[in-house]
């Protein structure tokens, strides 16, 4: 950074936007009081600070643009020939799914701010209008790339493997006859074309649904001559249909629903001529907002809001690039959009629905090789998990190690006559999961079962409402946490009578209680019967289900009370080590780093000479490698077969490491506006965590290095250097291939 830029940074007007709610501010003050007795080192006179304003906007990357860059890194996986072909296709489609959510939530929020004149700039000081312009620029380039990859790389490569997406111009007469029968038998009975006229206004179309706009010529039976119609594709219909093998010359032959509707659209308008039929798709604001002061029953309020999600304000229009401009203009007017919100694409507008190819094509040679998650020796030989935990804590790393012991712990608790109570948090789990089945069984067996369900887990709200009903019907006590604070902590507490004592067994995790995602996401599970940990978990549950002042915990840290303050304290502790002439080192692995005060603390640590490695999967506002500000900070993002989801905090502490796992990312929402837990690991478990962090820091083929300008570069082995993938190494270490 030049002296001129440094001078400008130093004199930048403070864009501090970290105003806390009264509740969060009170929590922070209470946390500071609780932590006063936990100083690790005596205070040392601070070193002379570099005269740079660490709140200056130039030092921060915009959150939304950083989020978008993560999606671009996902798209890049479609070009990685080291991945199996169908998995590369999945990455291409996941990019679409991620982009949908990005527009539904993040873009919608920027538009909402502009609409109501409530522009809320972050520490980067970028105005929402500028953010939207940059989003458009990045999306336009990468959506175009996505369709080029699909049309010019993926489809040809799949065809070489005998997987064909058969265009209607290539149907044989026999295939066309079969498709026509399919259209008349399966599509016509459920489809409802809508001719536009004064008595048939433009329909209210559901968020992300596939639709067609049709140009018509002629008059219908009533003498109407409007010229336009809309065909909504029913969601009950598959978007991909497999042609019968006997009609094809080998391989797997698939056709798009859109191709069928295009081909036979004229049959939906008898006696009229279809001049053109063009697919389009609208994305709407899908965020749910509440006035918490007005809520009396959260579940009832949520049920009422879920329906509106399908019909929020339009934020994006995707159209076939062949659509005439006058029709695009018509759609823009109907949805109150401008041209910057329109994406003209060369292919299906609903790409993520192509994921159905996984169920239609059996090609194990084009998928990831299956593996069997490993188990620690004691969990293999001894089925009594309670006796195992009385002797040793158990630390598991999913998906390389099995999630089954966590389920088995709850299953045993449900059946064990000595277990008297179970407490559990659920964020995303599914209505019919093994975890839920065991909770239901436990309640029916007469145990006291308390479940804290976070109803507002985004896009899982409906599932969680059903889950709550099922548990309540079984006799569980169900609560919804604390209004205004999402319960994101992953905790299970089992109280068991052993002789004259009540013994607490706990599970704490970095991920959700979902056996499906435990095969796809990397997460830590920690099982223990440490009674101090059990007492702490009990106190957190009391805070969630009852009321009372902040309680002092012995071994856990929890948001929104002590976790944030503890992280700031530990960063300062590393600074003190450096000031005292010792080495300082921090390694953090989380999904997002956006909280400004934590970023400033890391900048201060770097200025003091602390070495810092950050493994941030997604959003990262911090700029590494800035001279005199973040020279000792390195940031990387790992993208691979599994979604990196572990949250690990490592502080070297002059040779006596302090190691934590947590449910919390280093983001404002996690540290200040959610209920989260952080738990310390010691001894061999702490050593193991550090070794596994080192794997990710050694990765030279799935790691993307962040530069100070916000761009990323995929790391590659240097000449003579052996290729190393952290995920592959962990699989080889723990799983059976």
The three-state DSSP-derived secondary structure of 328-344 is HHHHHHHHCCCHHHEEE
302 to each of 128, 193, 477, 675, how far by Cα in Å? 28, 32, 19, 20
Q: 482 vs 98, 298, 362, 485, 544, CA distance in Å? A: 29, 10, 46, 6, 6
Q: Which helix (H) or strand (E) holds 71?
A: helix 63-76
Q: Kindly give the pairing relationship between strand 419-426 and strand 491-498.
A: antiparallel
- Residue 360 falls in which region: left (phi positive, over 0), alpha (psi -120 to 50) or beta: alpha
723 annotated to a ligand binding site: no
Tally of CA atoms within 13 A in the half-sphere of 605 that contains its CB: 30
Assess contact for 651 and 575: CB atoms under 8 A: no
Structure tokens at 625: 């490698």
Structure tokens at 73: 């890194």
Q: Are 224 and 195 in contact (CB under 8 A)?
A: yes
Cβ atoms of 200 and 222 within 8 Å: the answer is no
Q: What share of the chain is helix, strand, coil (3-state, %, to 5)?
A: 45, 20, 35
d(CA 478, CA 467): 10
In sequence order, what are the beta bridge partners of 509?
Answer: 525
- The pair of three-digit structure tokens given for residue 88, joined into one six-digit string: 């590369």
CA distance 458 to 105: 10
Q: Is 4 left (phi over 0), alpha (psi -120 to 50) or beta?
A: alpha
CA distance 188 to 179: 12
- Overall residue count recorded for the chain in this entry: 737
616 burial level (CB within 10 Å; 0-12, 13-18, 19+): buried
Structure tokens at 266: 């004229």
Distance CA 690, CA 164 (A): 47
Do strands 342-345 and 273-284 pair parallel, antiparallel, or not at all (unpaired)? Answer: unpaired
The DSSP annotation for 419-482 comes to EEEEEEEESS--TT-HHHHHHHHHHHTT-EEEEEE-TTSTT-HHHHHHHHHHHHHTT-EEE--B
* Diameter of the chain measured on Cα atoms: 91
CA atoms within 13 A on the CB side of 430: 13
Task: Tell me how many degrees the CA angle 664-600-62 measures, rounded to the nearest 5.
Answer: 75
617 marked as part of a ligand binding site: yes
Contact residues for 514 (Cβ-Cβ < 8 A; gap 6+) = 428, 429, 430, 433, 435
Whether residue 538 lies in the annotated active site: no
The token pair that represents 292 in the structure block: 């918490």
Q: How far apart are the first and last CA of the chain?
A: 48
285 marked as binding residue: no
Catalytic-role residue among 83, 398, 488, 514: 488
Burial class of 162 by CB neighbour count within 10 A (0 to 12, 13 to 18, 19+):
middle
Residues 644 and 612: their CA atoms lie apart, in Å, by: 19
Q: How many CA atoms lie within 13 A of 730 on its CB side?
A: 27
3-class DSSP state of 310: coil
- Write out the binding residues for Mg(2+): 428, 458
- Write out the binding residues: 98, 428, 458, 521, 617, 645
Return the active site residues.
488
């Amino acid at each position: 950074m030049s002296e001129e830029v440094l001078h400008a940074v130093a004199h930048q007007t403070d864009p501090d936007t970290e105003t806390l709610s009264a509740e969060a501010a009170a929590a922070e003050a209470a946390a500071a009081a609780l932590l006063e007795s936990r100083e690790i080192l005596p205070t040392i006179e601070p070193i002379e600070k570099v005269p740079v304003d660490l709140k200056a906007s130039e030092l921060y990357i915009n959150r939304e643009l950083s989020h978008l860059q993560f999606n671009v890194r996902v798209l890049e996986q479609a070009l990685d020939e080291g991945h199996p072909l169908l998995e590369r296709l999945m990455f291409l489609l996941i990019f679409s799914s991620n982009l949908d959510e990005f527009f539904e939530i993040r873009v919608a929020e920027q538009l909402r701010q502009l609409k109501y004149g409530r522009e809320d700039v972050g520490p980067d000081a970028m105005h929402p209008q500028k953010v939207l312009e940059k989003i458009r620029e990045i999306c336009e380039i990468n959506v175009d790339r996505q369709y080029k990859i699909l049309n010019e790389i993926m489809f040809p490569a799949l065809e070489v493997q005998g997987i064909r997406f058969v265009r209607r111009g290539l149907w044989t007469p026999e295939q066309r006859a079969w498709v026509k029968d399919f259209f008349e038998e399966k599509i016509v009975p459920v489809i409802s074309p809508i001719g536009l006229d004064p008595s048939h206004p433009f329909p209210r179309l559901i968020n992300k649904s596939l639709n067609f706009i049709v140009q018509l010529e002629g008059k219908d039976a009533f003498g109407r001559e409007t010229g336009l119609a809309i065909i909504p594709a029913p969601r009950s219909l598959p978007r991909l249909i497999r042609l019968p093998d006997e009609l094809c010359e080998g391989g797997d032959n698939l056709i798009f629903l859109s191709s069928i509707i295009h081909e036979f659209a004229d049959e939906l308008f008898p006696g009229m001529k279809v001049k053109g039929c063009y697919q389009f798709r609208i994305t709407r604001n899908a965020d749910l907002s509440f006035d918490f002061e007005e809520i009396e029953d959260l579940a009832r309020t949520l049920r009422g809001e879920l329906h509106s999600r399908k019909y929020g304000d339009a934020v994006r229009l995707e159209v076939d690039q062949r659509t005439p401009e006058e029709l695009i203009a018509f759609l823009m007017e109907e949805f109150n959009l401008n041209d910057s919100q329109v994406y003209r694409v060369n292919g299906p507008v609903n790409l993520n629905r192509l994921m159905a190819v996984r169920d239609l094509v059996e090609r194990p040679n084009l998928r990831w090789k299956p593996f069997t998650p490993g188990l620690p020796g004691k969990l293999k030989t001894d089925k009594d998990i309670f006796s195992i935990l009385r002797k040793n804590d158990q630390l598991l790393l999913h998906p390389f190690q099995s999630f089954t012991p966590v389920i088995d712990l709850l299953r045993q608790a449900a059946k064990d006559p000595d277990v008297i109570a179970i407490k559990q948090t659920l964020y995303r789990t599914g209505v019919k999961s093994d975890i839920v089945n065991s909770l239901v069984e436990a309640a029916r067996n007469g145990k006291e079962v308390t479940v804290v369900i976070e109803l507002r887990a985004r896009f899982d709200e409906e599932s969680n409402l059903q889950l709550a009903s099922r548990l309540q019907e079984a006799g569980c006590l169900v609560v919804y946490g604390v209004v205004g604070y999402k319960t994101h902590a992953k905790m299970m507490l089992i109280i068991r009578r052993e002789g004259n004592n009540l013994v607490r067994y706990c599970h704490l995790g970095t991920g959700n209680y979902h056996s499906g995602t435990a095969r796809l996401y990397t997460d830590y599970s920690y099982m223990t019967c440490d009674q101090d940990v059990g007492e702490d978990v009990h106190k957190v549950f009391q805070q969630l289900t009852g009321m009372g002042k902040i309680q002092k915990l012995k071994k856990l840290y929890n948001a929104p009370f002590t976790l944030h303050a503890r992280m700031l304290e530990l960063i300062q502790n590393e600074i003190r080590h450096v000031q005292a002439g010792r080495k300082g080192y921090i390694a953090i692995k989380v999904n997002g780093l956006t909280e400004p005060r934590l970023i400033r603390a890391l900048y201060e640590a770097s200025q003091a000479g602390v070495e810092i490695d950050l493994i941030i999967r997604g959003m990262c506002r911090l700029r590494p490698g800035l001279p005199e500000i973040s020279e000792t900070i390195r940031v990387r993002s790992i993208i691979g077969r599994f979604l990196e989801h572990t949250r690990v905090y490592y502080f070297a502490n002059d040779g006596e490491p302090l190691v934590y796992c947590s449910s919390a990312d280093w983001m404002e929402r996690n540290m200040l506006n959610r209920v989260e837990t952080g738990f310390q690991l010691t001894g061999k478990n702490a050593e193991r965590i550090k070794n596994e962090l080192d794997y990710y820091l050694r990765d030279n083929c799935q790691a993307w290095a962040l530069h100070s300008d916000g761009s990323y570069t995929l790391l590659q082995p240097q000449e003579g250097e052996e290729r190393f993938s952290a995920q592959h190494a962990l699989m080889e270490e723990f799983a059976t291939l």
